[in-house]
Structures are given as C-alpha cells and as structure tokens.
Chain A
Amino acid sequence: MFNGIYAVLYRELSIYRKRAIKQILSSSLSPLLFLIAFGWGFGSGVTVGGLPYISFLIPGLITMNSLNQSFAISAEINISRFYFHTFDEYLIAPVSHAGIVVGEALFGVFRGLLAAVIIFIYALIFKVTLFFNPIFLIAIVLHTFIFSLLAVTTSMIVKDHSGQALVNNFVITPMIFLCGTFYPIDKLPYAFKLLVYVFPLTYSTKVIRAALTGGEVNILYVGLMAFYCIMFFLTSLWALRSVEA
C-alpha cells in the first residue's frame, strides 16, 4: 500500500510544484471577492449570533475554499483517466487500490489545507480574531479528507468531462450555498433544512466555525465527519474497482 501512496503523491506534488503559483493565485481570488462583497460591502455593521458578520464569514470561507481545492482533484484525475491515460499506469502497477485512493486523497488534503491557509492570511489582513486550536486542526483535516475522497469517488464514476461538470453544478455548488457557509442555516425553510443535514459540509462548517470563533463544538458532529470520511473511502474503493469492469 505504501508504494501506491508514495507514487501518487510523488506524481501529484511534482506536477503541483510546477504549477504552484498559478494554483495558489487562482484559489486566492474568489474568497477575496466574497470578503470584499459580503464582509465590507454588505456585512459591515451586521452581526450574526453576536458575531460581526465578517467573523462569521471567515470560517465559512475556510470551509468553502478548502472544499473547492480538495474537490478540484476530481477534475484532474478525470483528465488523467480520459485524456492522457496516465491513470492506467497506477492500475497496471503492483499496488493496491487502497494505496491509490489514499495517495490521491492526501494530495487533496494538502491542497485543501493550503486553501485554508490563504483565508487565515486574509483574516490577518482584515483584522479578524480567530481561535486556533486542536479541534480545529482535527476538523479541517477531516473536512478536506471528506471532500478529497468524494472527489476520488466522483472521478471514478463519471464517464467523461460533462459528467464531472454535472456533479459540480448539482452537488458542490448547492452545498456551498446551502450549508451555512454564508449564513446560519436555522433561517432556512424546514424542507431545505432536511436536505442540508444530509450534506457533510453542514457539519464541518458548524464544527470549524465553532472552533475558530470560540463557540461550543458539538462532538457528535465531529463523529459524523469521521463517518462521512469512512463512507467516502469505501465508495472510492468500490468505484475504483468498478473501473476495471
């Protein structure tokens, strides 16, 4: 299993190194726009649950940006499967499927964590005080693992590029807008609340926001995040096996 993890990471990081500046720049822009539009433009003077809106927004942007970056590996695996066929190299090699899945997921975690760091830098610039603590670290790692593993599963199931776009539009975008990244979900109508509690992003946003703003962390939610992690690891393995049909 170790060879597979190491090989996948070697490849992904070798390529990442050559594109790092481009990728970091492109993952820096949209959260900055959100901060300017909602933090300064719309949210100044607004408070949510006793917090200035910008303090409420920053943890949401951390989950959003890291989700986007972790899930972005999906499109890249897709390209390597369908266009350059480099993914076949893993499949014919004497390495386990678990190794391939964990290697790709770790790369997704790496990208997600970098995306979180960018928001921390913004928090410094916008002078937002955050509480940095171990429970946050556990939560952000679980959070990025969940969406990296979801990305691996997706990239193995879809048959082409348009399938990938479908998942982005019908799963990822709604999740980002519904799961409490920009506003508290208790204001949503009941039907939406039901839907929102199926999405893992709801739990990671709640845990990460509570941890960073000094609120109370619901341990049950951390457990649920771990559950989603395990579930998506299993779906990744299953999806990878089905590629060899």
Chain B
Amino acid sequence: MNDNNVLTVAGLRKKYKDKAAVNGVSFAFSTGEFVGLLGPNGAGKTTTIKMLTGLIRPSAGTIHYYGSDFRQQSQTSKALIGVVPQQNNLDRDLTAYENLYLHAILYGIPNGVRTQRIDELLDFSGLADYRNRQVKQFSGGTMRRLVILRALLHEPKILFLDEPTVGLDPQIRRVIWDFIVKINRVKNTTILLTTHYIEEAERLCKRVLVINDGSIITDGDPETLKDGIGRFVLEIHKDDSIEEEFFDTRDEALAALHNSTYTCKVRGVTLEDVFLRLTGRRINV
C-alpha cells in the first residue's frame, strides 16, 4: 500500500438485506487530485461517501487514510476529512458564526485561533457580510457556500462533496464551481465530488470514476475516457429513437451521414456517451 495516497479504498461493499448498494469498489487518490464520482441516482454514490466519512459501516472492504485503517484510527482520520453532505445540514437557528464555531470545537481547533480562522474563511468565501445573521434567512446558494466553508474550517486534507450543486440555479451553480476549484488550487485540498450532472464532472474533474449499480465501471481523466469511444457522435433521429454512432474525426462522421435519410446531428462526445456506451442507458433520464 502506498502511504502517500490520501485515501486508499479496497473492495468496499455495503449490503442491505438482499441488495448491494455498493458492490466492491476500489480506488486510491493522491494529494491534490480532483476526482468526480459520476453516476445516475441510486448508483451508490452517497452510500460510498457515507462509508468513507464514517456515517455508515461497510459490510466489507477497507478504507485507509494515509495508510492508516479508518476503522481503527477513526478519530485521527476523521480530523483529516471535510464533508459537504447532500442536504444543507446547518443549524438554522444559529448564525453563520455560531455554526462555524460549533464546528471548530468539534474538530478541536484551539480556543485562541477559532475566531480568527472563522473570519479568514468568511473572507476567503466572500461571506463576511453574513457572519452574524441567522442561517434560516439565507438563500440556498449562500447556505451551500457556508456548508462548504464549514467543511474547510479544520483544514482537511480531503474534501467530500455529495452532489454540491443539486437544486441550485445555473448562475449560483457557477459560483459554487468557482469556489470548489479555488479550494483545490489554492489549498491543494484533494477533492471527491459526486454528481449526476455530466457538465459538472467534465468541467471540474481531472479524473472521473463512473459508477453504476454499485460498481465502478471506468476510471480515468474525462478526455481519455471520451477518446476511448471516439471524439464525435453522429446522432440519427429515427422516428421513435435516437441512434448514435461514434467517430474519431468530424469528417468521418459527416461521411457516414451521406447514406442517411433521417435527420442527423454531429456533435462532440460527452461523458454521457461514455456512460451510454458502457451501460446501454443514460445517466439522466
């Protein structure tokens, strides 16, 4: 095992009664990686995150943070992890500052630096104006930023973001994206982000693990994964379905078009096509 890896996971499984939600996944991340876990709803993304962060116990498999076993060293490991859950689980009756202060106590940040650390982060994220306001007054996007900021307070080595932009409008989504990218670049924090949005995975992630039915079906950087099936798609709009053919160049795609009597469209390959190619179905139905 490589101890330089922030996180090493082997054979991770979670079984509920007769169905495996996560069916033996393995991967390793090194420092500063920006990884996406891409898959449809119900593929096992959240279950995986919950096991990696200690919210649920795996049925089988091992999790190591910097080479030490998560189950045995759970408190030391938990101090290295930042978690942004799918729901904004802030205390709505507390102010932004109080929410962050609570987190600071939980993670053993020394009394003398708590307030200073909180104010630095509020500045870093542009939320300084919200410091003393009750969270229940915040918009969805502001809450989201505060949840992310809270996860950063103890300076984690790895940040888990579970569907960070679900339910946000496109403009706010961009703000959150920029913020996450900034965290990765400025703080060199390793990031694992789950998403079922193709665009999110393609724009942000340097590496994508594609998950389906509890298993990781492919792992690589988005460009290489797309190259693997060809760079261009010819969409043939038949009466009751859309057929897709893959080509390495636009010219080849256009050449194939000559024989067709249907409406056709040539476009660049996306990760959605990769998923479709591997599973026979689409991510977002």
Contact = CB atoms under 8 A, between A and B. Distances in A.
Given A244-B57, A245-B56, A93 B106 contact: yes
B81 interface: yes
A84 B91 contact: yes
Interface of A: 3-4, 6-7, 10-11, 14-15, 18-19, 84-86, 88-96, 244-245
B142 to A, nearest CB: 17
Given A11-B91, A14-B94, A14-B98, A89 B103 contact: yes
B20 interface: no
B75 interface: yes
Interface of B: 53-57, 74-79, 81, 83, 85, 87, 89-94, 98, 101-103, 105-108
Contacts of B53: 92
A15 B93 contact: yes
A92 B81 contact: yes
Contacts of B98: 14
A3 B107 CA distance: 8
A82 to B, nearest CB: 11
A14 B134 CA distance: 12
Contact of A86 (B57, B75, B89): B89
A91 B55 contact: yes
B75 A95 contact: yes
A10 to B, nearest CB: 6
A15 B105 contact: no
Query: Of residues A10, A94, A96, A245, which shows the largest number of chain B Cβ atoms within 10 Å of its Cβ?
Result: A94
B46 to A, nearest CB: 12
B75 A94 contact: yes
A89 B101 CA distance: 13
B108 A3 contact: yes
Contacts of A88: 55, 85, 89
Given A6-B105, A14-B94, A91 B54 contact: yes
A234 B101 CA distance: 29
Contacts of B55: 88, 91-92, 244
Given A92-B55, A245-B56, A4 B91 contact: no
User: Helix, strand, loop or mixed for chain A's interface?
Assistant: helix
Contacts of B81: 92
B188 to A, nearest CB: 21
A90 B103 CA distance: 9
Nearest to A6: B105
A6 B54 CA distance: 21
B78 A94 contact: yes
Contact of B57 (A3, A92, A245): A245
A90 B106 contact: yes
Contacts of B106: 3-4, 7, 89-90, 93-95
A29 B255 CA distance: 84
Nearest to B16: A245
A164 B102 CA distance: 27
A243 to B, nearest CB: 9
Nearest to B75: A94
Nearest to A241: B57
A94 B87 CA distance: 21
A210 B58 CA distance: 52
A84 B79 contact: no
Q: Give the 3 A-B CB pairs with smallest separation, nearest first.
A: A85-B89, A93-B106, A94-B78
11 contacts: A10-B101, A10-B102, A84-B89, A85-B85, A86-B90, A88-B55, A89-B106, A91-B55, A92-B55, A95-B106, A96-B75
Contacts of A7: 102, 105-106
Contacts of B77: 94
A94 B76 contact: yes
A94 B107 contact: yes
A21 to B, nearest CB: 14
Contact of B78 (A84, A85, A92): A92
Nearest to A5: B105
A228 B89 CA distance: 34
Contacts of A18: 93
Contacts of A244: 54-57
Contacts of B78: 92-94
A14 B89 CA distance: 17
A89 B98 CA distance: 14
Query: Of residues B83, B90, B93, B98, which shows the largest number of chain A Cβ atoms within 10 Å of its Cβ?
Result: B93
